[in-house]
Amino acid sequence: MAQVESDRSTTPTMTGPAADPALLATGIGAAESDISNAGILLPVETLSQYRGELETLAAGLRDRGRSFAEIVPQMFVETTEDLQPKARSIIDSLQDLTPLDLPLRPATEAFVNGAVLLAIATLSSVLGSFVVGPLMHILVLRFTAGCLAVALPVYGFRQLQKLQAEGVPNESIRVHLTYLAAAQGLLSGYAISHSYLQSQPLMFIAPLVMSLALPLLVNQGRPVVLAAALSLATIVNLFVGELFQTGTVSYFFLSLLYTAIAGATLQLVYREEPQGRAHVYALLLSGATLAVKTVVFGVFGSSTQ
C-alpha cells in the first residue's frame, strides 16, 4: 500500500494551457485517424478566427451604408444649389449680345491654344483607332473608354484650377493640357474605332479660323464679331469638305456642332475679367469638341464589326 501511495505522489500532473491537438496528433506514434482529424480542424479553426472580424467589418459597412444613404441626398442638394447660379450665369452669358469690346488677347490665346490641343487630339485619336486600340482592348471596354473621354475634361478643369492656384507657370500648364488632350484623343479614338460615319471635319479648323479672324474684327461690335467669325469658320469647313469631296450630311452636321462650340467659347470669353483664363477657355473648347465627336460617333455611327 505504501508503494502504491509513493507511485501516486510521484506521478506528474499537467500544468499550463492545453496542448494543441494538431501538434499532438502529428507527433511520433500518433494514430493516422488523429492526424486526419487534426488536418480537417485546422482550416476550420483558422476560418473561425476571422468570423469575428468579418462580422465587425459587415457591421461597419452597414453603418457606413446608412450614413452614406443619409449624406447623398444632402450632397446632391448642395451640389445642385451650388451649380444652379453658375449654370444660370453661363446661360445668361451665352444669350448676352450686349455691345462690348472684344478682349482680343485672351480670345486669341484661347482659340490658338484650343486649335493646337485639338490638332494633338486628332493625331492621338488616329493612334487610338488604328495603333493602340488592339492593346487597349485588353485593358478597357470601348464604352468605358468613351465615357472616360467625355468625362476627362471635368478632371482636367479641376487640375487646371489647382495648378493656377499654386501659381504654376503657363508653360507647365500648357504641357499639362497637351497631355490631357492626347489622353482624351486616345480614349476617344479607341472608343469610336468600330463606329463609322461617311466623313467628318477636322476638329481644329473652326478655332484656327476664328483665331485668325478675331484680330480683323476687333473694332466691331459683339453681334458683328460673332456673325462674321462663326460664318467664316463654317464656310472654311464646308470649303475643305468640298475640296476633298467629303461634303456629306455627317460632315455638315459635325461642322455646325464644332462651330457652335467655338461660338459658345467666344461668348464666355466676353465675360468679365477674362484675363488669366485663356487656358480655361482652351480646355473648354478642346474638351467639349472632342466629347461631342465621341458622342455623335457613338450614337449615330454605324458599326464596322
Same domain assignment for residues 244 and 108: yes
Q: Is the pLDDT of residue 22 over 50?
A: no
Q: Is residue 199 one of the residues assigned to a domain?
A: yes
Burial grade of 194 (CB within 10 A; 0-12, 13-18, 19 or more):
middle
Same domain assignment for residues 57 and 114: no
Same domain assignment for residues 179 and 114: yes
Q: Whole domain around residue 85: which residue ranges? A: 21-95
Q: Which residue has the higher pLDDT, 18 or 236?
A: 236
Size of the chain, expressed as the number of residues it contains: 305
Adjacent-strand bridge partners of 302: 196
Greatest pairwise CA separation for the chain in angstroms: 129
Average pLDDT on 14-31 reads 49
Q: Which of 95, 119, 150 is the last residue of a domain?
A: 95
Tell me how far CA of residue 264 lies from CA of 258, 270, 285, in angstroms: 10, 10, 9
Q: Are 107 and 212 in contact (CB under 8 A)?
A: no
User: C-alpha dihedral over 214, 219, 224, 230, to 10 degrees?
Assistant: 0
DSSP code of 303?
A: E
Q: Is residue 266 one of the residues assigned to a domain?
A: yes
- Among 182, 118, 117, 184, CA closest to 145: 184
Average pLDDT on 75-98 reads 62
Q: Is the pLDDT of residue 258 over 90?
A: yes
Same domain assignment for residues 149 and 234: yes
Q: What is the pTM of this model?
A: 0.70
Q: Which residue in this structure is represented by grid cell 464589326? A: 305
Q: Is residue 16 one of the residues assigned to a domain?
A: no
Per-residue model confidence (pLDDT) at position 40? 54
Burial grade of 138 (CB within 10 A; 0-12, 13-18, 19 or more):
exposed
Same domain assignment for residues 214 and 269: yes
Same domain assignment for residues 115 and 80: no
Per-residue model confidence (pLDDT) at position 88? 65
Cell of 15: 500544468
Q: Are 160 and 279 in contact (CB under 8 A)?
A: yes
pLDDT tens per residue across span 173-227:
898 999 999 999 999 999 888 877 778 899 999 999 999 998 888 888 888 888 9
User: C-alpha dihedral over 143, 144, 146, 149, to 10 degrees?
Assistant: 180
Q: Is residue 186 one of the residues assigned to a domain?
A: yes
Same domain assignment for residues 37 and 82: yes
For the chain, how many structural domains are there in total? 2
Same domain assignment for residues 190 and 227: yes
Same domain assignment for residues 82 and 179: no
Same domain assignment for residues 129 and 57: no
Q: Is residue 265 one of the residues assigned to a domain?
A: yes
- Among 146, 144, 143, CA closest to 125: 146
Q: Are 211 and 105 in contact (CB under 8 A)?
A: no
- Model confidence band, residue 135 (pLDDT cutoffs 50, 70, 90): confident
Q: Is residue 55 one of the residues assigned to a domain?
A: yes
Q: Is the pLDDT of residue 255 over 90?
A: yes
Same domain assignment for residues 142 and 173: yes
Q: Is residue 238 one of the residues assigned to a domain?
A: yes
Q: Is residue 26 one of the residues assigned to a domain?
A: yes
Average pLDDT on 238-260 reads 88
Same domain assignment for residues 111 and 258: yes
Q: Which of 40, 62, 95 is the last residue of a domain?
A: 95
Per-residue model confidence (pLDDT) at position 28? 47
Q: Which of 95, 127, 143 is the last residue of a domain?
A: 95
